[in-house]
């Protein structure tokens, strides 16, 4: 299971039930950049150590993300940013459901076949 979203409301335990516990290398700085204090950042970093850090940006996935962007625009859907398309592309390629709190993923999930994990 991959993690993405704007702002975590609380530190929940990482996913279980045999699901992969991963966080993307491009998601990690996004999670930590908005933290208001060093103490909170350290707590979040400790929690994130339970996840396996995976590289999400490869040449093939970058090319695929651009193709996803073109496809969505052709359908009249403008994705908010390339980071979300990279995350979505990795989850699609690896058949990993994406838990999130970001409406952009809801808009692109159907057209791209992005598996979503309810949170």
Q: Token pair 């979505």 is at which residue?
A: 88
Number of domains forming the structure of the chain: 1
CATH number at residue 55: 3.40.50.1010
Q: Is residue 76 part of a domain?
A: yes
Considering only the C-alpha atoms of the chain, give the largest distance between any 2 of them, rounded to a whole number of Å.
45
Is residue 57 in some structural domain? yes
**30-52 pLDDT, tens per residue?**
889 989 999 999 999 999 998 99
Please indicate, yes or no, if residue 4 is contained in any of the structural domains: no
* Residue 11 belongs to a domain: no
Confidence of residue 12 (pLDDT cuts 50, 70, 90): low
Domain that holds residue 26: 22-117
Residue 79: pLDDT over 60? yes
> 49-60 pLDDT, tens per residue?
989 999 999 999
Note whether residue 6 is domain-resident: no
DSSP string spanning 43-110? Answer: HHHHHHTTSEEE----HHHHHHHHHHHHHHHHTT---S-HHHHHHHHHHHHHT--EE---HHHHHHHH
């Amino acid at each position: 299971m991959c993690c993405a979203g704007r702002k975590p409301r609380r530190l929940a335990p990482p996913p279980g039930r045999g699901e992969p516990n991963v966080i993307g290398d491009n998601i990690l700085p996004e999670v930590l950049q908005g933290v208001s204090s060093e103490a909170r950042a350290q707590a979040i970093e400790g929690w994130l150590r339970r996840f396996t850090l995976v590289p999400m940006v490869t040449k093939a996935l970058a090319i695929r993300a651009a193709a996803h962007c073109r496809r969505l625009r052709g359908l009249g859907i403008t994705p908010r940013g390339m980071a979300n398309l990279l995350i979505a592309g990795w989850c699609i390629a690896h058949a990993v459901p994406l838990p999130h709190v970001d409406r952009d993923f809801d808009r692109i999930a159907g057209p791209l076949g992005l598996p979503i994990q309810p949170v």
